[in-house]
Amino acid sequence: MVHQKKKLVEEVSGWLRIHDDGSVDRTWTGPPSVKFMAEPVPPHEEFKEGVAVRDVTIDEKSGLKVRIYLPQHEPDYTDNNHNKLPIIVHFHGGGFCISQADWYMYYHIYSRLARSASAIVVSVYLRLAPEHRLPAAMDDGFSALVWLRSLGRGHGSYEPWLHNYGDFNRVFLVGDSSGGNLVHQVAARAGHVDLSPVRLAGGIPIHPGFVRSVRSKSEMEKPESPFLTLDMVDSFLKLALPEGCTKDHPFTRPGGHAAPPLDGLNLPPFLLCVAESDLIRDTQMEYHEAMKEASKDLELLINPGVGHSFYLNKIAVDMDPHTAAQTTALMEGIIEFIKKH
């Protein structure tokens, strides 16, 4: 029997290749020096640099998993709720097509956030397109909230870190890039559901993947980066959005004409984080304006002189003082928002 060699039918910026038999290869083929950021970090239930990490399957049928970051902390006995920490539900980026919750780029920043914010981070292993087109990842994000509700009500499996230390009354959604789209969509869905004792206290979309069919000025003028190119924007969304849909779909343009009116959504307070040199900054700011017009509680944090997902680039954070300073400013802004809510 003669085996025909698979033919490459699509490749996206070194991150992803699709073959004629439908198989998907996500092996990094870009510069070897950055490969470590896309490599998995094993869980460790002992504390390392003040944080312990474990992976938990939250749905045996689907296999949906989360990664939990628990910070080492001293109880505050002046607080009646002294052992309880806010819970941050994290949605990773990757244009809905690449990356995993255990990648080093997320580990290095979300272990830092858990430690600095004294918060438990629950990072969801989202299903990826094109094998699982949207709304699969959004369903996974919402499933994580439903799982927290079941824990809070004492149903289902016992998760000691969350039972012993998690404050179900202060749950925040955080998402990087396309994960920021999930923050909006999951919060909107949660606004119509009884999640008690879980209270959604806030949403933090960081450099969300909000775009539209017509190129924005920033897309045409801002520099591309390894974390975001126009090829990635176009190709990933073509693979991820429901078939036949354009970038004006509500998943990618939640403030657009095709989306449910924002003033009809029951949303928690939001902190929108924008990088000044982000390719898709203009459409993020269009979302900001639409949310303000709808009288939503929305704060804006802009980091000057940096691009899309700059804080995930460990090399730049370590080597460039400005990137390091802006990463600290971003972390401090997120922590301040969490403390207020």
Q: Report the CATH number at residue 162.
A: 3.40.50.1820
Q: Which of 118, 177, 178, 235 is catalytic?
A: 177
Domain total in the chain: 2
Q: Which of 278, 282, 288, 309 is catalytic?
A: 278
The two three-digit tokens of residue 80, written as one number: 């009646």
Burial class (CB in 10 A: 0-12, 13-18, 19+), 13: buried
Residues 265-318 have pLDDT tens digits of 999 999 999 999 999 999 999 999 999 999 999 999 999 999 999 999 999 999
208 closest CA partner among 182, 233, 245: 182
* Catalytic status, residue 288: no
Question: What is the residue range of 289's domain?
Answer: 40-340
pTM exceeds 0.85 for this model = yes
Classify strands 24-25 and 16-19 as parallel, antiparallel or unpaired. Answer: antiparallel
Q: Which of 24-33, 179-188, 282-291 has the lowest mean pLDDT?
A: 24-33
Residues 77-133 have pLDDT tens digits of 555 555 799 999 999 999 999 999 999 999 999 999 999 999 999 999 999 999 999
* Catalytic status, residue 322: no
Q: Do residues 113 and 14 share a domain?
A: no
What are the CA-CA distances from residue 338 to residues 15, 179, 203 (Å)? Answer: 33, 18, 10
Sign of CA dihedral 337, 88, 311, 227: negative
Q: Do residues 3 and 102 share a domain?
A: no
Q: Do residues 109 and 240 share a domain?
A: yes
Residue 75's pLDDT is 64
Other beta carbons less than 10 A from residue 222's beta carbon? 20
Q: Do residues 203 and 297 share a domain?
A: yes
Q: Which of 90, 184, 288, 308 is catalytic?
A: 308
* Catalytic status, residue 177: yes
Determine the Cα–Cα distance for residues 41 and 39; give it in Å rounded to an integer: 7
- Residue 160's pLDDT band, with cuts at 50, 70 and 90, is very high
Residue 298's identity, in one-letter code, is L
DSSP SS3 for 92: coil
